Chain A
Amino acid sequence: MHVHELNPKKTLWVLILFLIVIIIGFFTMKRPLLKYQLSLKQSTKILKDTSNNYFYPYQLANVLDHKNKNVVIIDLRNKYAYGLGHIPGAKSIPSFNLTQKGNVKLLKSYKKNGITVVLYADNQLDADGPWLFFRQVGFCNIKILLGGYDYYEAHKNNLAQTKTDGSYLKGIPRFNYAKVACSKTVTAASKKAKKPVVFHRRKKVAVAAGGC
């Protein structure tokens, strides 16, 4: 026979107290703001099927003309770069502030309302990390602006015509590597049709010119 069994009322109180502590703990537990929604396998899949990943510079033309209102553009560069120049209508959220509570809430509301979010930085590479991060935590409405701000800045007057321009596309080999960078073929390139070598002896002057 244990001691607490002598006083069932006391046992009950301790039990209730114990439950209360657990319940309070459960509600005040700090939940992470973001969780991975895609498994690693799904992540590699979206990287291969790129149809839903990119926002092309020529698509910007419609957004800037206010024809396409379902798009929000977010500038990931720092405030200083944003101040020097940015895409009209772009919202500035420096990438280090992305996971602040207010910003995550904002992004969640965009997702809820079916608004496409386009991230950009100076170039595609700078925005690539944050973009892939947000895709993994479940924001399937987030796209990345190809070419980044640099390309926009260079082509802002003829965005619609950049449809045929492929210079901003990444991940494509721009050289025939095997031809350019391997030792054998370099010799082939330098081996162009060789000219026969012709020796010309100088002509002697016509008249006998001396002797001993």
Chain B
Amino acid sequence: MNRNYYFLTAIMFVLALGTLFISERVVSPQISPDELLWDVLQPTRFVTTDQIAKRLIEKDPSLLLVDVRPAAEYNKFTLPNAVNVPLDSLITPAGQEYFGNPGTKVVLFSNDAILANQAWVLLRRMAFKDNYVMKGGLNGWIKTIIQPERPPQTAPETAFERYDFRKAARLYFTGAGVVNSGKSSSKTKVVFKRRKKAAVAAGGC
């Protein structure tokens, strides 16, 4: 046997040993910076509170609301069926399970659009698609859906239609007190006042 073969075998063996030390770190795919900036500058990721309200009322199964605020704030109040993915867990595999699933549109929201937008940028960098940001955030949600403002008389008809929709949506999301009003504990006192009889006999047949 040629001495070279021993040599080659030795090299192969060393390389094979090297594979034992390969770490299991999986590098998640990232898009290039240029592509990221281009996508960041597109306004197509923003959706309005009206659109979200409509989807929620229609019970759209493809909609997934993601609350990116800290867990403490999420526990106090959130939108119907929203899941909580704070900024920290956004970059963990557990938090990323919600994103990039075919057939779902993820809408991120926070108090304003700022934090949700930042989460969107990070997600886009991690090459996730089909994510949206609710413009105005929860503050906007309260202002438009929960406490809608009546448009001025001179507003176009569409503004009034939107106002009507928002009033109806408000009833849908808050219940507007109809459910609980029956149970109110302090019952209203009813006071009857009997009429006074007139002094003189007032006739009759």
Check A180 against B146 for contact (C-beta < 8 Å).
yes
Check B111 against A171 for contact (C-beta < 8 Å).
yes
B131-176 CB contacts (< 8 Å) to partner A? 135, 138-139, 141-142, 146-147, 173-176
The closest CB in chain A to the CB of B186 belongs to A194
Check A208 against B203 for contact (C-beta < 8 Å).
yes
Number of interface residues of A (CB under 8 A): 59
B48 CB to closest chain A CB (Å) equals 14
Check B184 against A186 for contact (C-beta < 8 Å).
no
Check B126 against A40 for contact (C-beta < 8 Å).
yes
Does chain B have a CB within 8 A of A174? yes
Check A170 against B194 for contact (C-beta < 8 Å).
no
Check A133 against B121 for contact (C-beta < 8 Å).
yes
Check A180 against B142 for contact (C-beta < 8 Å).
yes
Check B147 against A180 for contact (C-beta < 8 Å).
yes
Check B175 against A183 for contact (C-beta < 8 Å).
yes
Check B122 against A43 for contact (C-beta < 8 Å).
yes
Does chain B have a CB within 8 A of A207? yes
Check A196 against B188 for contact (C-beta < 8 Å).
yes
Check B40 against A133 for contact (C-beta < 8 Å).
yes
Check A125 against B141 for contact (C-beta < 8 Å).
no
Does chain B have a CB within 8 A of A206? yes
The closest CB in chain B to the CB of A95 belongs to B41
Bound-state Cα–Cα, A201 to B193, Å: 7
Interface size classification for chain B: 35 or more
A169-195 CB contacts (< 8 Å) to partner B? 170-175, 177-178, 180-184, 186-187, 190-191, 194-195
Does chain A have a CB within 8 A of B130? no
The closest CB in chain B to the CB of A206 belongs to B198
Contacts of A173 in B (CB 8 A): 73, 111, 138-139
A90-139 CB contacts (< 8 Å) to partner B? 95-96, 98-99, 124-125, 128-130, 132-133, 136-137
The one of B30, B41, B181 in contact with A129, judged by C-beta atoms closer than 8 angstroms, is B41
The one of B88, B115, B125 in contact with A136, judged by C-beta atoms closer than 8 angstroms, is B125
Check A181 against B40 for contact (C-beta < 8 Å).
no
Contacts of B113 in A (CB 8 A): 125
Are A181 and B141 CB-contacts (below 8 A) given A32-B34, A36-B33, A196-B191?
A: yes
Check B142 against A137 for contact (C-beta < 8 Å).
no
How many residue pairs link A and B with beta carbons under 8 A? The number is 163
The one of B40, B77, B193, B198 in contact with A177, judged by C-beta atoms closer than 8 angstroms, is B77
Are A170 and B33 CB-contacts (below 8 A) given A181-B173, A182-B174?
A: no
The closest CB in chain A to the CB of B199 belongs to A206
Check A47 against B87 for contact (C-beta < 8 Å).
yes
Check A129 against B112 for contact (C-beta < 8 Å).
no
Does chain A have a CB within 8 A of B25? no
Contacts of B115 in A (CB 8 A): 47, 171
Does chain B have a CB within 8 A of A157? no
B162 CB to closest chain A CB (Å) equals 19
Check A99 against B114 for contact (C-beta < 8 Å).
no
Check B87 against A48 for contact (C-beta < 8 Å).
yes
Bound-state Cα–Cα, A202 to B174, Å: 41
Does chain B have a CB within 8 A of A4? no
The one of B36, B88, B184 in contact with A191, judged by C-beta atoms closer than 8 angstroms, is B184
The closest CB in chain A to the CB of B33 belongs to A34
Are A186 and B139 CB-contacts (below 8 A) given A129-B117, A197-B190, A208-B200?
A: no
A141-184 CB contacts (< 8 Å) to partner B? 170-175, 177-178, 180-184
Contacts beyond the supplied A47-B115, A132-B118, A133-B37: 4 A-B pairs with Cβ under 8 Å: A96-B41, A181-B174, A187-B181, A199-B190
